[in-house]
A and B are shown apart, each in its own frame.
Chain A
Amino acid sequence: MVQELRRLKESASQTAGPYVHIGLTPNFGGIEGVYPHDLGAQPVNEKTKGERITVKMRIVDGAGTPLKDALVESWQADAEGLYNSPSETRGTADPNFQGWGRYPSEMDTGEIVFETIKPGRVPFPDGRMMAPHISLWIVARGINLGLATRMYFSDEETANAEDPVLTRLEHQNRVSTLIARRDGGAYVFDIHLQGDKETVFFDI
């Protein structure tokens, strides 16, 4: 016998289900008057520093149908590459940018459109710089454990080419699934849950 480590096990995940809006975006879901506004609906304000960008996203299932009941959360650095978090020890992030957003799919089209700022670069643990990216977390009916992925930017070719996460992917032909394409004033990013175009998801 040896000493016990006495570790606990992480609580098991369960799907967010079809009524996730009640809990996480009640105003969007038609429950008004309980909270003044839905958390994460407006990540930028007029004082936030950095380049304003618009992101247009869809979550697409294995049959090619956009999910109309999904919810996406985003987490990103500010324009200088600093996170607004106590675990950020390199400096103080822009106080006018929380860095986190929460977006339900439109119930009739499945579209998700939001405004944020282009994040700065953040180092990998070995000191190499990662390309600008937004971390995404996706939940929905039929998804048992929230899916983690990242969105990179098509107009950051040099940074993307040296990004430590993108370059370590064994199947380099899948890198494109992580890159939002610039289309006029917006970045367009489709997340494919399965099939030939399946997005790279992370076990992190």
Chain B
Amino acid sequence: MRNVRPETGGFFQRDRTWQPPAFTPGYKTSVMRSPQRAPVSFPHTLSETTGPVFGHHILGERDNDLTLNFAKPGESAIGPRIIVYGRVLDERGAGVSNVLLEFWQANAGGRYRHKKDGYLAPLDPNFGGCGRTITDANGNYFFRTIMPGAYPWPNGINDWRPAHIHFSLFGHGFVQRLITQMYFDGDPMIWQCPIVATIPERRAIEGLIAALDMQATVPMDARAYKFDIVLRGRHSTLFENRMEGN
């Protein structure tokens, strides 16, 4: 392993015209949960530029295989088998190592294993719906799962979520923390979803749609989707005049 000196610079300003605003009335729950005052900015301190580290030792053997990690011995989850892989990069294009990725999703019928999900689609006794992994030195990750189903949700009288996988990521600084969702190549439901529509720019939405990659499939086993994720970039400290005691 390379012995890289940890970076200590602040992070690029977040582009708030690219990210979804807090108040998005098409997604009704945001109305009462959106701050209305301007958020306050200040230069990044150690509280922002540092962040927790998770070692590979926390991972169990099946943490990145949702087809098996809740299944009874010898059985596996129902649904089209897929591999999701990609890289975690930062805005400079550099791979981000040691990123803890956690993901969760509905089963193939669109039902979550959660006491608050009452959708009539059945639970799959062999599917829990959670997984996790940590990126390698170049920012690569992968996991196995089944294709989640679309599901209806209470917003308008007939709103449906496109098939999606929820992602949570830690970068190297606490202000790189990100939660997002991955959608699937070719799904017409993406463009009808009020939660997707909270994102102002089409290009930003397209950045959340994983590409089908037939070259990465495992023949007679699982198709592959490529999903790269970009975290905030970091200022280099190379050019800085170091202040005393800093």
A contact residues vs B (CB 8 Å cutoff): 6-24, 26, 29-31, 33-36, 39, 61-63, 65, 67, 69, 73, 75-77, 83-89, 98-100, 107, 122-127, 130, 133, 135, 137, 139-148, 150, 164-165, 168-169, 193-194, 198-204
Contact = CB atoms under 8 A, between A and B. Distances in A.
Given A19-B104, A23-B102, A125 B112 contact: no
Contact of B33 (A39, A87, A99, A193): A193
Nearest to A139: B179
B218 interface: no
A31 B128 contact: yes
A202 B58 CA distance: 31
A14 B113 contact: no
Contacts, number: 276
Interface string B4-20: 00111000001110111
Interface stretch (B76-84, B86-94, B139-147): B86-94
Given A22-B113, A34-B69, A10 B30 contact: no
A112 to B, nearest CB: 16
B58 to A, nearest CB: 7
Interface of B: 6-8, 14-16, 18-22, 24, 27, 29-54, 58, 60, 63, 69-70, 89-93, 102-104, 112-117, 128-130, 132, 166, 168, 172-175, 177-181, 195-196, 198-199, 203-205, 207-208, 229-233, 243-246
Contacts of B52: 75, 84-85, 98-100
A12 B102 contact: no
